[in-house]
Amino acid sequence: STATAPSKASSSVPSIIKIPRSIHEVDNGKILGFGAELSEDHPGFHDEAYKQRRVMIANIARQHEVGEFIPRIDYTPEEVAVWGTALSKLKALFPSHACAEFNAALPKFNFREDEVPQLQDISEVLQQSSGWQVRPVAGLMHPRDFLNGLAFKYFHSTQYMRHASKPHYTPEPDVVHELIGHVPMLANPTFAEMVQAIGVASLGADEKQIWHLTKVYWYTVEFGVVREAGEIKAFGSGILSSFGELEHMGQGRAELAPFDPFSTQPKMSYKDGYQRRYFVLDSFQTGLDQLRQFAASIKPGVSAR
């Protein structure tokens, strides 16, 4: 089914918004950034071998069809070392800095320092935990397509590794971010429902609503923190996958503000570095209630069911 949306100011022709009926109709081929082309400020910009590797891994995602086995990547010893460094530093911080739900889910995935997990294997474990699956993607997707995927319990995931010169932080998604930052949280049913509520709200949303939902997603799923027995703990994947940012959060110098999906969300950018402000949830159940109410306000009468 389709809905008409208000057109952009520059055009007088109204655009048609396609509402996908299944994950097969969600296009993962429109890559906006962080694909094979790296910007000048990327640590891998002058590293030809790194860039070629990215192209090869991106092509695997481009050729993949939903339901097919996700091809395994034979990660190089250098890539495995980056994964191992990130995992061991993060593991040291998780007991004190990550939320209880994350720490409870992490062991399900058996992450080891000497092996980069394969998307296919992780997707199977995730599916058993909460019904979610992983679909490979070549780089940063169009926000509408990415958010639409969440409605069908699909998480689009990159498969390449961050550059070896900066294991502590990368501005872009990579396999460390997806598998350590996102996947364990998605194994938690209440959290997963919260993410799905954002996805459902995005189906047929107009451009303005998509942009608002992108920020709602950014300040919760990517960079959210939760209050736990009076302390602030990370649940946002962008914090949980970066040992630089996780330490920064733990230092308590960033500003904290209550999360409210109805209010205007601050500007967001991949180029901001560590966040200077985190939005706080009181619990995932509260977050779920808030997001369901918000979704209902833009899509009256529609729910995930």
Catalytic residue positions?
177, 182, 222, 241
Q: Which long-range contacts (CB under 8 A, 24 or more apart) does 34-42 make?
A: 34/139, 34/140, 34/158, 34/172, 34/173, 35/138, 35/139, 35/140, 36/138, 36/139, 41/271, 42/163, 42/172
Q: How far is the CB of 238 from ligand NLE (least distance, A)?
A: 4
Q: Which of residues 263-292 bind Fe ion (CB under 5 A)?
A: none
CB 101 within 8 A of CB 186: no
Separation between Cα atoms, residue 264 and residue 296, nearest integer Å: 17
Nearer to ligand NLE, 7 or 165 (CB): 165
Closest to 173 (Cα-Cα) out of 5, 262, 299, 61: 61
Task: Sketch the per residue contact string, 229 through 258, with Fe ion: x for CB under 5 A, - otherwise.
Answer: --------x---------------------
Decide whether 241 or 290 has the Cβ nearer to Fe ion. Answer: 241
CB of 166 to ligand NLE, least distance (A): 8
CB distance 73 to 117 below 8 Å: no
Q: In the bound complex, what is the minimum distance in angstroms from residue 122's beta carbon to ligand NLE? A: 16
Given ligand NLE, Fe ion, none, residue 202, with its beta carbon under 5 to 8 Å by kind, binds none
Nearest to 55 by CA among 149, 130, 63, 274: 63
Among Fe ion, ligand NLE, none, partner that 193 touches (CB below 5 to 8 angstroms by kind):
none
> What is the spatial distance between Cα 281 and Cα 294, in angstroms, rounded to a whole number?
15
Contacted entry of ligand NLE, Fe ion, none for residue 169, CB cut-off 5 to 8 Å set by kind: ligand NLE
Q: Which is nearer to ligand NLE, 175 or 201 (CB)?
A: 175
Residue 186 CB, shortest distance to ligand NLE, in Å, is 15
How far from the centroid of its chain's Cα atoms is residue 223's Cα?
10
Q: Are 138 and 36 in contact (CB under 8 A)?
A: yes
- Determine the 3-state secondary structure of 155 from DSSP: strand
170 makes contact, choosing from Fe ion, ligand NLE, none, with CB < 5 to 8 Å by partner type, with: ligand NLE
Binding residues for Fe ion, how many (CB under 5 A)? 2
Closer to ligand NLE by CB, 186 or 204: give it: 186
Per the CB < 8 A criterion, the answer to whether 70 and 119 are in contact is yes
Comparing CB distances to ligand NLE, the nearer of 20 and 57 is 57
Site for ligand NLE, rule CB under 6 A: 169-170, 172-173, 176-177, 222, 238, 241-242, 245
Compute the least distance from the CB of residue 128 to ligand NLE, in Å. Answer: 25
> Residues in the site for Fe ion, rule: CB under 5 A?
173, 237
